[in-house]
């Protein structure tokens, strides 16, 4: 069960406006603010295909190592294209096809 809350805006990072944040189960890994995630039972992990993202990591600090503990993630709303990163923390180029797929999944890139 995830606990969901609504946030509005943020400086930098993945949040670009109204978003929904949930505390989700994370696989053991290193996470960077803005990493796309997808669910594979029993937890979320890095998703290299941005268009297939179910969520985006938004925990603090900017990079967080988790050993399977829960973490905060954007699960819908207005996200910053400039804040989307890969599993090394490098910015990802977003295509029009990515934008379309993200909108279909409830994310609105700005």
CATH number at 26 reads: 2.40.300.10
pLDDT band of 61, cuts 50, 70, 90 = low
Report residue 36 as tokens.
């796309």
- The number of helices, as runs of H, and strands, as runs of E, in the chain is 1, 9
pTM for this prediction: 0.87
* Residue of 32, 31, 50, 54 whose CA lies nearest to 41: 54
**How many structural domains does the chain have?**
1
Domain boundaries, position 98: 3-109
What does the pLDDT look like over 31-49, one tens digit per residue?
999 999 999 999 999 999 9
pLDDT at position 27 is 92
């Amino acid at each position: 069960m995830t606990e969901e809350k609504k946030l509005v805006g943020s400086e930098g990072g993945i949040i670009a406006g109204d978003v929904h944040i949930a505390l989700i189960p994370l696989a053991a890994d290193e996470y960077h603010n803005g990493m796309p995630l997808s669910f594979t039972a029993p937890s979320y992990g890095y998703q290299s295909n941005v268009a297939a993202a179910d969520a985006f990591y938004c925990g603090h600090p900017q990079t967080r190592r988790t050993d399977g503990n829960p973490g905060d993630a954007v699960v819908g709303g207005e996200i910053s294209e400039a804040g989307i990163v890969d599993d090394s923390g490098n910015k990802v180029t977003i295509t029009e096809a990515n934008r379309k797929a993200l909108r279909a999944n409830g994310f609105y890139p700005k």
